[in-house]
């Protein structure tokens, strides 16, 4: 399908790569269809683009690529909503905030990761209550 976006212009999206947020993103309850856009194969940052709102795209990152300890404990209700049958099929991404005037001030939302089930194309944003994780964890320690 062709998808018109504000950030990327018109792009072709395989409908099989569209994720259905069965547990919506915080503040975006009415938007449930998103696609992950990879600027290039080796890009550290990817984009989570709304299929329903062409102006909405979030920079996201896999914390696993940063090599620091980050473990999550999914509540049973979330695992059920995502229809998880195989942990290998999960992709965990985190929304980042990148200041335009200071990219080294980039922060990562560790408190509310995005969980994607690659087998079912279901996704959810999960708040890890009581985890001690920060909503604005600095990506660079020297900024």
Task: Give pTM, 2 decimals.
Answer: 0.92
Cα–Cα nearest to 25, from 127, 118, 133: 127
Map residue 55 onto helix, strand or coil. Answer: coil
Cα–Cα nearest to 135, from 95, 93, 104, 102: 95
Q: Where exactly are the structural domains of the chain? A: 2-138
pLDDT tens by residue, 2-53: 999 999 999 999 999 999 999 999 999 999 999 999 988 888 899 999 999 9
pLDDT tens by residue, 91-109: 999 999 999 999 999 999 9
Please give the span between the terminal C-alpha atoms of the chain, in angstroms, as a whole number. Answer: 41
Distance, in Å, from the CA atom of 75 to the CA atom of 126, rounded to the nearest integer, reads 9
> Where does 2-138 sit in CATH, by number?
2.30.290.10
């Amino acid at each position: 399908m062709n998808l018109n976006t504000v950030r990327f212009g018109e792009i072709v999206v395989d409908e099989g790569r569209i994720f259905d947020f069965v547990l919506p993103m915080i503040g975006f309850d009415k938007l449930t269809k998103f696609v992950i856009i990879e600027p290039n194969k080796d890009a550290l940052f990817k984009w989570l683009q709304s299929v329903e709102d062409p102006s909405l795209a979030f920079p996201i990152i896999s914390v696993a690529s940063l090599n620091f300890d980050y473990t999550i404990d999914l509540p049973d209700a979330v695992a059920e909503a995502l229809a998880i049958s195989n942990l290998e099929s999960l992709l965990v991404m985190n929304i980042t905030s990148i200041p335009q005037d200071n990219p080294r001030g980039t922060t990562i939302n560790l408190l509310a990761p995005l969980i994607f089930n690659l087998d079912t194309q279901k996704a959810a944003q999960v708040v890890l209550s009581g985890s001690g994780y920060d909503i604005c964890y600095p990506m660079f320690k020297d900024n």
